[in-house]
Chain A
């Protein structure tokens, strides 16, 4: 190896490590602080004892209601993912592999809606939800979000790359088009369906604007909204806040670590090129 090449390599590693530290620091700080006693915050040495009391407090103190928020978040996230998992692939398949009058119209509906910022329709959606009596209910936070145009578009791109011959072969073997969809396309598209699930999972789990608009009763909060309300009350109690951050973030990280390999592949093959 020439000295110039090894210099470049050292430079690359140095850059990676600096960037990596910058990105890891906030998370390490969060973990570290979450197990400190309040009087030890901002100390880097001479810490007498670790404690999990901050975490325990979240689950035992009635004022925070964390178990309830957690259940709300899990129910809402599960329902939204389920809806997206059924509805989006069907549209994606119709747009990628079928040819029918009205297809172009549906395609443009998907693409145009993708571009519209959600804030534009937030007020009328809020009014609709209120009219149905769905404020402070699971329905209001799930039904309007059972589909996502961005994911439909992404799945369409991926389904297009599945060779038509696969579907034709299945048809010759006697499968209907719907059968070909469930038996051929769904299993082949596994990695892009996982990609969509991770995005839908983190999007729903982390969403703040909509749940904070559609709920006012603390018993109906989701974790993120709840965490923000705790933060506002106990801003000076950093260890407590940080344990809340860990609690909110942990499920996403677990979900991501389980599926990360398929995820990276899913993005690479779904072809986002304009």
Chain B
């Protein structure tokens, strides 16, 4: 009996052990981790990685939408052709102009807003919401509104005209159209910068300011030597996100280019993105468009790298 009892007990232990063994496998970090990542990875491979590789491969091909099977390998010819195209350099220049005008301005305005609404004042919730709304509003909608505001002879253009700007329809004027796009971007983006800066400001240790006050530092000195250095990683985040988004501006340009080709008026708002869209998608020249986009990718990479260097060396 004793032996028999032992066997049953042993058996019980074995089943229990094997159950807990199964449970252990299913409940391990390895299986849960991969199980949880699997849906993402499957989508990513098919909708990101594969297209990403294709973009590289297509950029070395002479490929047309209409006859993709007949795509021919042509080496660097697409790149050579782009680098000889005057319009491409113009597009790069326009993208750079937008970024150089809009990114610093939206960063500074965002910081000012954040500091203003981080104080103990009445109605700060209202102002936070007001400044943030453009960020979640459709760019097409905002552009549409600004297009009716920045027409020749409206109260807005009349008013700005007093400061020496031309009283013209901004988005139809070759000199002003690009500035118009930059204004739209700033209007949209500084609310986001404000929110991010706001979260940063709330994390600056209060005793740093107290120490500053004891040392008799002015408000400006406190801002310059405490706030700004403390916010540096956040500034880098804001500047790099805004740069990437600034290079990707598309909706606003599409909205002002009615009837005409993208980049109206007369190519004055043509950017790297509209250049690639026009060639790759409208003119169906996939190989050429892909090469433009690969170059665009490297431009962003280099600029992000330079920003990192610049912001690291500052303070």
Interface size range of chain B in the complex: 35 or more
CB of A274 within 8 A of chain B? yes
Verify if A262 is at the interface (C-beta below 8 Å from B).
no
Q: Is the interface of B mostly helix, strand, loop or mixed?
A: helix
Return the CB mask of B113-147 against A: 1 if under 8 Å, else 0: 10011010100001111110111111111101110
Please indicate the chain A residues that have their CB under 8 angstroms from the CB of B247 in the complex: 117
Interface-located stretch among B7-15, B48-56, B86-94? B48-56
Do A117 and B300 touch across chains, with their CB atoms under 8 A apart?
Answer: yes
Segment at the interface with A among B37-45, B72-80, B206-214: B37-45
Instruction: Name the segment of A59-67, A139-147, A186-194 touching the other chain.
Output: A139-147
Q: Is the CB of A119 within 8 A of B52?
A: no
* A101 to B44 alpha-carbon distance, docked (Å): 19
Check B30 for interface membership: any CB of A closer than 8 A: yes
- Stretch from A47-55, A74-82, A244-252 contacting the other chain: A244-252
- Number of A positions contacting B (CB below 8 A): 90
Alpha-carbon gap, A106 to B39, bound state (A):
12
Docked-complex contact B43 and A120, CB < 8 angstroms:
no
B68 contacts the other chain (CB 8 A): yes
A126 to B250, CA, bound (A): 17
A120 lies within 8 A of B258 (CB): no
Q: How far is the CA of A29 from the CA of B236 in the complex (A)?
A: 35
* Least CB distance, A116 to chain B, in whole angstroms: 7
CA distance A103 to B43 in the complex (A): 17
Pairwise interchain contact B58-A123, C-beta atoms closer than 8 A: yes
B258 lies within 8 A of A232 (CB): yes
Q: Which of B97-105, B174-182, B193-201 contacts A (4 or more CB under 8 A)?
A: B193-201
> Helix, strand, loop or mixed for chain A's interface?
helix
Judged by a CB distance under 8 angstroms, whether B82 is at the interface is no
Q: How far is A134 from B270 in the complex, measured between Cα atoms in Å?
A: 30
Instruction: Beyond A224-B138, A256-B133, list 11 extra A-B contacts (CB 8 Å).
Output: A16-B116, A23-B130, A42-B155, A90-B37, A91-B36, A147-B44, A177-B32, A206-B137, A232-B258, A248-B138, A248-B141
**Interface residues of B, Cβ cutoff 8 Å to A:** 23, 26-30, 32-34, 36-37, 39-41, 43-44, 46-48, 50-52, 54-55, 58, 65, 68, 109, 112-113, 116-117, 119, 121, 126-131, 133-142, 144-146, 148-149, 154-155, 187, 195-196, 198-200, 202, 219, 233-234, 236-237, 244, 247-248, 250-251, 254-255, 258-259, 273, 276-277, 280-281, 286, 289-290, 293-294, 296-297, 300, 304
- 4 smallest A-B Cβ distances: which pairs? A124-B51, A100-B33, A268-B199, A90-B36
Interchain Cβ contacts under 8 Å between A and B, 7 examples: A29-B145, A121-B54, A123-B58, A123-B280, A249-B141, A267-B196, A272-B234
